[in-house]
Amino acid sequence: MSAIHKLKIAFRDTKAKAALCAAAAAAVAFLAYSPAFDVPLLSDDWHLAWIAAHSTQPWFAYFWTNYAGTAVGYAYRPLQIVYFLVANGLGGTDPLVYHLIQIGFHAANTILVFVLARKLAGGKSLFLPTVASSLFALFPNHSEAVVWPSAIGDPTATFFMLVTVLAWIVGRKRRSLTFYALSWVACVFALASKDMAMSLPFIVAAWELLNLHQTGLVRQVMKSACRVLPFFAILAAYFTIRLDATGYLFGYYGAPKVAFDPMVMVRTYLAIPVSHFVSGLTRTEVMDFLYRVVDTRVTAATIAIVIAVIIFAARAGRKFWWLAVAFVVSIAPVAQLGLNHLPGRVSDEGERYAYLPSVFLAIMLASAIDAIRRRGKKLGTIVAVMSVAVLLITMTLQLESKLGDWNAAGALATKALTSWPDAYSTATTGKMFVVGLPDNYRGVPLWRNSLAEAHELVFGTKPDVTVTALRTVIDRPHGFIVSDLGDDRWSYVSRLSDSPRADIVGLLSVAENGYSAKLGERTFSIYALTYRDFSDSAELSLRPWVDANPSSPTTAVFWKGEGWISRSVGAND
C-alpha cells in the first residue's frame, strides 16, 4: 500500500477521527500562543480594566449603555466590558487570566472552523477541514486579536458568528425552529461583541441567494426573505440601541463621522489578504509596492480578475462562491479603517480586523489545496501536502516572531510604568506634562492612553498628568536627548544616528491644554484615526501653562528610552 493511499485512508471521515482532528487543531491553536501568557496589559487594556475595577452597575446593564456605563461616546461592545469584569473579578490585573480566556476563545474558534469546513466539504474527507482549521490556528496576523485583551471583541464576535452560521445551516437542512432561534440569539451576541458583526445578516443572506434553484424561483426568494428577515430586524435593533448608548449610528469615538474614501477601502482590501501570509518588514515592502509603485486601482482590478480566473478554473461550486462573498462582506465594516502602514519600518497594527474574515479565507485556501489533491491524483497529493507543510511552517515562524515582539513590547511597557514613580517622586505635587510617551513597539500598542489609570491600579495613586501629542514609535529600544532651550522650552531628539528613523510621532504643530509643540522636519505622514506626522525631533513649550498658572507646581517628564527624566517648569525651575 502506497504512502499516498495510506494518507487518503487516514483522512477518511469518521466521527471519531473528526473529533480527534478538531481537538488536535485546537491544541495547536492554544499551545502556539502559550508564549504570550506573560504579556502584561497594554494601552487600552488599562482603561477597560480601570472601568471594570470601578464599575457600579450590574454586568447586564452594559447591554444598554456604552462600555463605560454612560450614554455619551465610547463604543457599544457589551461583551468586551463583561470580559474585563469577569477577568478583573478573577485576577485583578493579572494578565494570565485575560490570556487564558482569550486564547481559549481562539481554540474554540479553531474547532468551529473545522466543523464549518467539514459541513461545506460534505463529510467526504477530513483533509479539507483539518487544513482549514490548522491555517486558522496559525495565521500570523491573528496575534493582535488573540494576545491583546482590548481586542477580545474579535475572537468573541467570530465565535458567535460561527455559531450563527452553523446553526443556520443545520436549521435550514432540518427545518428546525430551534436551530433558527439559536442562530438568531448567537447573532445578537456577535453584535454585542464588536461592530464587525454587522456584516453577519448579509453573510446569511448571501448563503440563501447562492442556494436558490431556478425552479420556483419567486417562491424560493419569498421564503428565503422570510427566513433572513429576523437577522435584519436584529441589526436594526442593534443600531437603535447603539445610537442610544453612544450617540453614534455608524461612527465611533475615534471617528464620529466615517468619511468614505475609495482609496482607503481599496488599500484595506489589499492589505488584509496580504497580512495573512507575510508580516514585518516583508509586508511593509509588499505594501509599499502595492501602495506606491503600482496604481492601487489597477492592482485591485488585477487581483480581482486573477481570483475570478482561479475560481472558474477550479470549477468552484456555490459554497466556494459563498466563502468568497462572505470574505469580502466581512471586511466591509472596517474598510475605511485599514491596517496601519509605516513606510520603511514594521507596523502590523490593525491586523485584528482580519481575524473574522480569516475564517472564510482559511476554508477557501484549504478548498483550493484539497481540489489539487483530489484532481491531481498522486502528483496532486504530493503538491497539496507540500503546500500545506510550507504554509504551516512559514506561518509558525512568523507567529513566533510576532509573539516575541509582543513580549518585548510588554517588557518595554512595564519598564515605562515601573520607572514612572521615580520621575513622579522628583516632582512636587502638581501638574505633569508627559513628552515622548511610548506609543507602540513594532505595531504593538504600549501607552497610547491610560497611563494615569494604570498607575492608580498598580500603585494606588493617580497622578495629574497631561500626555502631550508628542509620542514615540519604536522599532528597537534606544534613547532620546532632551535639551533645555530656556523660557520653559525643550528640544526632544531621537538618539539613533544610523538613519532617519522618524521615531517621534504627532502633528506638525499643536497648541492645546496649556502647551504648544511642533515636530522637526517631517519624514512622512500616515492616515490612522487622524493624519499623523513622523519626525526625528520635536520641540515643546510650556510657556502658555506657566503664564496662565504662574504659582502652580509643574513638571515636564520626558521618556529617555530607558526610563523617565523630569524638568521643573516656571517658578519651580
Rounded Cα distance between 394 and 18, Å, is 26
3-state secondary structure of 432: strand
Side-chain-side CA neighbours of residue 450 (13 Å): 20
Angle separating helix axes 95-121 and 153-174, nearest 10 degrees: 30
Last residue of a domain, one of 322, 353, 375: 375
Please report whether residue 403 resides in a domain: no
Q: Are 361 and 468 part of one and the same domain?
A: no
Rounded Cα distance between 286 and 279, Å, is 9
Q: Are 449 and 350 part of one and the same domain?
A: no
The pLDDT value recorded for residue 529 is: 45
Domain enclosing residue 178, as ranges: 3-375
Rounded Cα distance between 64 and 170, Å, is 31
Q: Are 362 and 419 part of one and the same domain?
A: no
Please report whether residue 160 resides in a domain: yes
User: Is the pTM here over 0.85, yes or no?
Assistant: yes
The pLDDT value recorded for residue 419 is: 84
214 φ/ψ angles, rounded to the nearest 5 degrees: -70, -35
DSSP state of 448: S
Neighbours of 456 (CB within 10 A): 17
Please report whether residue 395 resides in a domain: no
Please name the helix (run of DSSP H) or strand (run of DSSP E) that holds residue 512, with its range, or none: strand 509-512
Are 179 and 198 contacting, i.e. CB atoms less than 8 angstroms apart? no
Extract the C-alpha cell encoding 345.
519600518
Rounded Cα distance between 376 and 312, Å, is 17
Q: Are 176 and 84 part of one and the same domain?
A: yes
Alpha carbon 399 to chain centroid, angstroms: 15
Number of domains the chain is built from: 2
The answer for residues whose C-beta is within 8 angstroms of residue 21's C-beta and 6 or more apart is 114, 126, 129, 130, 133
Q: Are 344 and 486 part of one and the same domain?
A: no
Q: Are 353 and 458 part of one and the same domain?
A: no
Rounded Cα distance between 344 and 442, Å, is 12
Last residue of a domain, one of 375, 398, 425: 375
The pLDDT value recorded for residue 399 is: 95
Rounded Cα distance between 75 and 299, Å, is 34
Q: Give pLDDT < 50 ranges for the chain.
A: 313, 500, 529-530
Q: Are 205 and 319 part of one and the same domain?
A: yes
Rounded Cα distance between 541 and 554, Å, is 13
Q: Are 503 and 358 part of one and the same domain?
A: no
Q: Are 342 and 442 part of one and the same domain?
A: no
497-501-504-506 Cα dihedral, nearest 10 degrees = 150
3-state secondary structure of 26: helix
Please report whether residue 258 resides in a domain: yes
Number of helices followed by number of strands (H, E) in the chain: 20, 15
Rounded Cα distance between 50 and 67, Å, is 12
Are 472 and 439 contacting, i.e. CB atoms less than 8 angstroms apart? yes
Are 112 and 163 contacting, i.e. CB atoms less than 8 angstroms apart? yes
Q: Are 459 and 326 part of one and the same domain?
A: no
| Buried/exposed 53-84: b ≥16 CB within 10 Å, e otherwise | bebeeeeeebeebbbbbeeeebbbbbbbbbbb
Last residue of a domain, one of 356, 375, 394: 375
Q: Are 351 and 487 part of one and the same domain?
A: no
Please report whether residue 475 resides in a domain: yes
Please report whether residue 67 resides in a domain: yes
The answer for residues whose C-beta is within 8 angstroms of residue 504's C-beta and 6 or more apart is 436, 470, 471, 472, 473, 480, 492, 494, 519, 520, 534, 535, 536, 537, 538
Q: Which residue has the cell 498522486?
A: 378
Q: Are 355 and 429 part of one and the same domain?
A: no
Torsion sign (Cα): 403, 404, 405, 409: positive
Please report whether residue 147 resides in a domain: yes
Please report whether residue 422 resides in a domain: yes
Are 171 and 124 contacting, i.e. CB atoms less than 8 angstroms apart? no
Please name the helix (run of DSSP H) or strand (run of DSSP E) that holds residue 445, with its range, or none: strand 444-445
Extract the C-alpha cell encoding 476.
528597537
Terminal C-alpha separation, the chain: 86
